[in-house]
Structure 1
Amino acid sequence: MVEPRSTAAGQARRVFLAATGQNRGKTTTSVGLTAAIRERGLRLGFLKPVGQRYLVVDGTRADEDAVLMQAVFDLPDALNDMSPVTLPRGFTTDFIMGRIADDLAAQVTGAFGRVADGKDLVVIEGTGHAGVGAVIELSNARAAALLGAPVIIVSEGGVGRPIDEIVLNHALFAAHGVEVLGAVVNKVDVESHPHLPDVLLRGLAQHGIELLGCIPYSEFLANPSLELIATHLDGELLSGRAEPGRTIGHVAIGAMHAGHAVEHLAERTLLITPGDREDLLAAALDANRRAGDVPLVSGVILSGGYRPSDSLLTTLRDADLFAYLVESDTYRTAQAVDEVLV
């Protein structure tokens, strides 16, 4: 199926960034590409056609990536144009049951026309893989077709998996008549495996797909900071500091005996556990004392809304251990933390 191209935006060039899955580095690539465009003095716009994770800014519901790009690059366009369609809880069910009468495709093309007006290039960022959004008849593949935007597919390190994922997504874009410019593979461990870029280049070429580049794996970029965790989760800081330079290396769920849980702690672990599991919290503090200069536990997220006792809270503060209290249960908290990973 080939969609009619949007012509409302005149001659503004456009590029659509799509990922092969979650946490592939699509937004990181968008930020880098947008920064490069700005350095060339080009007038640019940004569009997130469909947003799943949104914020409310001055009464406007907008995808968090659109909010980020507007703030970082001081973009002049209205947030409701940069993020024309957002999906609150229950939206997909309402759409399937016929309770959503809005023309979502028209909202996206109209918003693109306003964002692209007077611009040299518009960066369009998809949501997940090529098929995400099909449930509301606005998959990434269809959105790219509607906007007449060629696509760059972003995947992540390895060999077999990224090639498989890229080829699969390429097929859906091709079915919608969308040109795929090529692929970017993120988190490539070129230090340990310097041959990987050449292998990926050859492997993708066998399917007629150009490798546009590889982004080396960076531990700093891959590991979110405690500040980012605290910003993303709705909660209360009980002790420690949410600093941008204090990163986590691993995530552990405290749902077992304290002695067994300690065995799963690695350097700079973020421990997620109910706030009433004081045995686990005491074990984490003890593990840090024994670890020396590099703590095993960078911080703890206390789930379920359970506050630790005053005596343990005092111990946490004396140890300057990041402790953040949230109302959500451990499972939902772990899901929210996973969304922060790059």
Structure 2
Amino acid sequence: MTAPEDPAARRVFLAATGQNRGKTTASLGLIAGIMRTGHRLGFLKPVGQRYLVVDGTRADEDAVLVREVFDLPDALNDMSPVTLPRHFTTDFIMGRITDDLAGQVEHAFLRIAAGKDLVVIEGTGHAGVGAVVGISNASVAALLASKVIIVSEGGVGRPIDEIVLNASLFEQHGVEVLGALVNKVEMDSHADLPEILRRGLAQHGIELIGCIPYSELLANPSLELIVTHLEGELLAGEATPGQTVGHVAIGAMQADHAMKILRERTLLITPGDREDMILASLAARGHPVMGLILTGGFHPSGAVLRRLRDASLFTYLVETDTYTTAQAANAILVKTHPTDTDKIATIIELVDGAIDTNALLDRL
């Protein structure tokens, strides 16, 4: 197949300093901001490591997410041209896979970019990821003649070190780094952090494009993920997709003391035989408790269970103790899904406040 002519569409490549730094968060927010300006936009995930199969097409989960959230018309196999199933890298190294992966990425980009004003390209992991199969993020950005934004997460020393390291590899490939976007920044407790990061990065010739504030809502799982990742029994309520936990609390103190620490959309983890805690949760003013995880395998009494079911309060029984359960809930890898409407709205709002979209567009 012959590729079409290289289109005039501008392009920006969102890279990261590692996994789970907030690259997808940045993509969603940036895409929303660009689309509000009226630009015709395309999205490309050149290399996918976490993929889904949709209507027989294997596609990276971020491509599926962006296509659904923004109702993009492009084919999934163009939005996600290369995915890496298990053993792919070994087979590639051993010569059992000889596909022209760079060619696949380039042709997919050209199809995506046709008729568009701008294409957002989302990388995978740090700048070197993909080098094992000949298509690192840095080499793909060079191949597609794209400028790069590097996404890292909050802190001082680590994000600056990681950003500088990744920028050096992009620069070795002749790729212009527009700057850095730092995610999960604790603005409330460290109001001076953006200025510290700006100065620290400037010492290495890198611009701070913006800081995305930390949000507990974005860091926490949905009730659906709780049920998916923790082995247990749903006693009451539903694990409705899109219901994201706002705050996780452990009910290990007296019930009246515990009620004072509840905030909106609290998931309360407490032993199943703490019926005082369960009843207090049901009665709490403003209904801040969105769900209960009952630990230790202790079933509440029939009367209490009936009240939970009458209230349709999410109640999930697990066999593990409270400490182990809290650790397991905290370890859940939180990814954004199309049904997470509250979370997506929050992402768009936070990124919009962190990035001057028009100023960024002027630099592309």
Q: TM-score range by the shorter chain?
A: 0.7 to 0.9
Moved over 3 A (4+): 227-239, 243-246, 248-252, 266-271, 283-302, 308-311, 314-326, 333-336
Mapped pair 1:162 → 2:159 = yes
Over 3 Å counting, the alpha-carbon distance change for 1:21 and 1:234 in structure 2 is farther
CA distance in 2, matches of 1:321, 1:166: 44
Per-residue deviation, 1:22: 2.2
Over 3 Å counting, the alpha-carbon distance change for 1:130 and 1:298 in structure 2 is farther
Unaligned runs of 5+ in 1: 1-5, 253-258, 260-265, 272-279
CA distance in 2, matches of 1:56, 1:234: 25
Per-residue deviation, 1:98: 1.8
The aligned counterpart of 1:220 is: 217
The aligned counterpart of 1:3 is: none
Letter in 1 for 2:245: T
The aligned counterpart of 2:56 is: 59
Mapped pair 1:145 → 2:135 = no
The aligned counterpart of 1:247 is: 245
Per-residue deviation, 1:324: 6.8
Over 3 Å counting, the alpha-carbon distance change for 1:152 and 1:100 in structure 2 is same
How many percent identity over aligned positions? 65
Q: Deviations over 1:313-336 (max 9, x none)?
A: x6885785646799xxx9xx8798
Letter in 2 for 1:219: E
CA distance in 2, matches of 1:7, 1:194: 49
Over 3 Å counting, the alpha-carbon distance change for 1:340 and 1:325 in structure 2 is farther
CA distance in 2, matches of 1:121, 1:202: 30
Mapped pair 1:77 → 2:74 = yes
CA distance in 2, matches of 1:238, 1:19: 41
- 1:91-170 superposed matches below 5 A: 91-170=88-167
Over 3 Å counting, the alpha-carbon distance change for 1:218 and 1:239 in structure 2 is same
- 1:190-205 superposed matches below 5 A: 190-205=187-202
Letter in 2 for 1:199: I
Per-residue deviation, 1:241: 2.0
Per-residue deviation, 1:197: 0.9
Contact residue 149 and residue 179 of structure 2 kept, 8 A: yes
Equivalent in 326, 335, 342 of residue 340 of structure 1: 335
Q: Deviations over 1:216-265 (max 9, x none)?
A: 2222222232245568999996642224345054599xxxxxx9xxxxxx
Q: Deviations over 1:54-111 (max 9, x none)?
A: 1111111111111111111111110000000111222222222222121111110110
Over 3 Å counting, the alpha-carbon distance change for 1:48 and 1:233 in structure 2 is farther
Letter in 2 for 1:210: E
Over 3 Å counting, the alpha-carbon distance change for 1:309 and 1:221 in structure 2 is closer
Mapped pair 1:282 → 2:272 = yes
Over 3 Å counting, the alpha-carbon distance change for 1:335 and 1:215 in structure 2 is closer
The aligned counterpart of 1:48 is: 45
Unaligned runs of 5+ in 2: 253-260, 319-324, 337-346, 348-364
Over 3 Å counting, the alpha-carbon distance change for 1:245 and 1:54 in structure 2 is same
Contact residue 232 and residue 340 of structure 1 kept, 8 A: no
Contact residue 43 and residue 63 of structure 2 kept, 8 A: yes
Letter in 2 for 1:247: V
Equivalent in 152, 168, 173 of residue 171 of structure 1: 168
Over 3 Å counting, the alpha-carbon distance change for 1:95 and 1:321 in structure 2 is farther
Per-residue deviation, 1:11: 1.3
Look up the SS of the partner of 1:337 in the other structure. coil
The aligned counterpart of 1:274 is: none
The aligned counterpart of 1:277 is: none
Task: Tell me how many residue pairs correspond in the alignment.
Answer: 316
Q: TM-score, normalised by structure 2?
A: 0.72
RMSD (Å), alpha carbons: 4.1
Over 3 Å counting, the alpha-carbon distance change for 1:143 and 1:295 in structure 2 is same
Contact residue 275 and residue 300 of structure 2 kept, 8 A: no
